[in-house]
Amino acid sequence: MSQLTKPFQVGEHGARPRVVIVGAGFGGLHAALALRHLAVDVTVVDRRNHHTFQPLLYQVALAVLSPADIAQPIRTILRNQANTEVLMDEVNGIDLQARRVWLTSGAQLAYDYLVIATGATHSYFGKDEWARYAPGLKGIEDAIEIRRRVLLAFELAERQMQERGWHPPLNFVVIGGGPTGVELAGAVSDITKLYMRHDFRHIDPSKARVLLFDSGPRVLAAYPEDLSAKAERELFHLGVEVHTKSHVTNVGPGWVEVNDQRIDAAVILWAAGVQASPLGKMLGAPTDKRGCVIVDSDLNPPGLPEVFVLGDLAHFEQDGKQVPGVAQPAMQMGDYVGKAIAADLAHQRRPAFRYFDKGDMATIGRMAAVANVQWPFKAHLSGLPAWLTWMVVHIFFLIGFRNRIAVFSQWVWNYFMFTRSARLITGDQNLPGWQDQVNAGPAKEEDVRAAEVR
């Protein structure tokens, strides 16, 4: 229930209220769009110049799509919205009394309303040193780095095979069995089984192993049990080895320890923990253990009606359950900010926010998915029907992406032609030092004499 007993009023100064939105993910961007026709001045602050369509990020990581297919400059999305400007900067402090945010450039930005939608990042449960060996997937840079590691692993194995007639096991390890982990594991399996099959002469990419570890009793723990079971079956059909109740106890250069047993790994991907953006803590408001700000039905922290916290950064409970940190709630929360501020401007009581759950879905490789549909009908879908649903929904929601049709045709082409035009290795062309070292493997003598080839 709303904490406000009377309509909230801003702008004693008579000027148009100033709305500062921090973060241009789904929440922040939808808040900006929802304020389009209101008599307010909006500033969107983001440290990146682009909005990322996160649900398809794993497709960039596995070289199906290019970064520009799923990322769009924030300026371009909002270019025709006259009351809105975009500032590429980072907020590193909030003065709730003076109603100002500090920027890393040294300047300050005054606000009447503050919308914080800076999301979350991966958590290594205090073991930040694992990040180097097991990158997570949150932004475009992460996706490019994962793509680089996956593609280089094949190149290295081919080289070792040609030069030494031997290469260490080509194990791809995914840690975490949530939607991201499941999608990554399925997509890695696809790349090994389908897309790479004619590209190498000395190795057989389809012999690569994909291992998915989750500490819980089943994958997709937030889904109904029957869909978890179906997801596991679909992963099994793709050749992914799913290991539940498997605690990752250590991660190092080229290996993971699962339940204290060491497993070689050519590439390790982290899809396990989530922690909130540090901006939540700066508010001084109550947070949950992941750092998410606990908000009321106005999406305000207690006693701060001019501050909205949205998306992954918000801890919002409805009907006794926490709303999940995915795209749908973030978008709806963004839309709600528009309604709440419009109510304030009209001197009316704000409506309470309510999350309308249309369902959840996760793809599992090229032609399968699971979907827990809540609207317009209730259903548990799996296999191809779920995948087709996923496809339609995701194409439809590539909003603000003018090249939607181009992306779609690229996609269809890649899916059916098994080509990967996006399969580029950019940046450092070498594997991290430790990996070359590790993968040099047991054959010490071979390293010393320059092995002749052929």
User: CA Rg, the chain, in Å?
Assistant: 24
Residue 84 or 382 with smaller CB distance to a copy of itself: 84
Tell me the C-alpha to C-alpha distance, in Å, between residue 291 and each of 113, 166, 286, 428. 22, 47, 9, 34
CB atoms within 10 A of CB 281: 12
Candidates 110, 346, 392, 443: give the one binding a copy of itself (CB under 8 A).
110
CA dihedral 440, 442, 445, 450 (to 10 degrees): -20
**Side chain identity, residue 454:** R
Q: Extract the tokens encoding 307.
A: 């501050």
By the 8 A CB rule, do 135 and 148 touch? no
φ and ψ of 154, to 5 deg: -70, -45
Q: C-alpha 203: how far from its chain's center? A: 32
Binding segment (CB under 8 A) for a copy of itself, from list 26-34, 48-56, 306-314, 361-369: 48-56
By the 8 A CB rule, do 425 and 152 touch? yes
Query: Inter-axis angle of helices 404-417 and 383-396, to 10 degrees?
Result: 150
How far is 4 from 234, CA to CA, in rounded Å?
A: 49
Q: How near is the Cβ of 423 to a copy of itself at its closest, in Å?
A: 5
Candidates 138, 194, 200, 397: give the one binding a copy of itself (CB under 8 A).
200
Which residues are catalytic, by number?
A: 183
Q: Extract the tokens encoding 384.
A: 């191809």
Binding mask 363-402 for a copy of itself (x = CB under 8 A): --------------------------------------xx
Residue 209 or 420 with smaller CB distance to a copy of itself: 420
How far is 171 from 152, CA to CA, in rounded Å?
A: 13
Candidates 155, 241, 257, 264: give the one binding a copy of itself (CB under 8 A).
155
How far is 364 from 16, CA to CA, in rounded Å?
A: 48
Candidates 1, 97, 106, 356: give the one binding a copy of itself (CB under 8 A).
106
Assess 198 for contact with a copy of itself (CB under 8 A): yes
φ and ψ of 166, to 5 deg: -155, 140
Assess 97 for contact with a copy of itself (CB under 8 A): no
Residue 39 or 406 with smaller CB distance to a copy of itself: 406
Binding segment (CB under 8 A) for a copy of itself, from list 95-103, 172-180, 226-234, 315-323: 95-103
Assess 202 for contact with a copy of itself (CB under 8 A): yes
DSSP letter string, 395-425: HHT-TT-TTHHHHHHHHHHHHHH---TT---
Residue 151 or 314 with smaller CB distance to a copy of itself: 151
Site for a copy of itself in 432-451 (CB under 8 A): 447, 450-451
Four-residue CA torsion sign, 329, 334, 337, 338? negative
Candidates 126, 426, 433, 444: give the one binding a copy of itself (CB under 8 A).
426
Q: Extract the tokens encoding 304.
A: 């701060």
Residue 97 or 426 with smaller CB distance to a copy of itself: 426
How far is 183 from 146, CA to CA, in rounded Å?
A: 14
Bridge-based pairing of strands 100-103 and 91-95 is antiparallel
Taking alpha carbons only, the member of 187, 171, 182, 177 closest to residue 248 is 177
CB atoms within 10 A of CB 410: 17
Candidates 417, 434, 437, 443: give the one binding a copy of itself (CB under 8 A).
417
Assess 80 for contact with a copy of itself (CB under 8 A): yes
By the 8 A CB rule, do 291 and 284 touch? no
Candidates 4, 7, 36, 47: give the one binding a copy of itself (CB under 8 A).
47
Assess 146 for contact with a copy of itself (CB under 8 A): no
Binding segment (CB under 8 A) for a copy of itself, from list 196-204, 208-216, 319-327, 373-381: 196-204
Assess 95 for contact with a copy of itself (CB under 8 A): no
Assess 49 for contact with a copy of itself (CB under 8 A): yes
| Contacts of residue 389, Cβ cutoff 8 Å, sequence gap at least 6 | 361, 369, 371, 373, 381
Candidates 216, 425, 432, 441: give the one binding a copy of itself (CB under 8 A).
425
Residue 89 or 360 with smaller CB distance to a copy of itself: 89
Assess 286 for contact with a copy of itself (CB under 8 A): no
Q: How near is the Cβ of 179 to a copy of itself at its closest, in Å?
A: 24
**Side chain identity, residue 304:** L
Binding segment (CB under 8 A) for a copy of itself, from list 26-34, 87-95, 316-324, 378-386: 87-95
Residue 244 or 410 with smaller CB distance to a copy of itself: 410
Q: How near is the Cβ of 156 to a copy of itself at its closest, in Å?
A: 8
How far is 34 from 78, CA to CA, in rounded Å?
A: 11
Candidates 9, 37, 85, 92: give the one binding a copy of itself (CB under 8 A).
85
Name the residues that contact a copy of itself, by CB under 8 A. Answer: 18, 47-50, 66-69, 71-73, 75-76, 79-80, 85, 87-89, 100, 102-103, 105-110, 140-141, 144, 151, 155, 158-159, 162-164, 198-202, 401-403, 406, 409-410, 413, 417, 419-427, 429, 447, 450-454
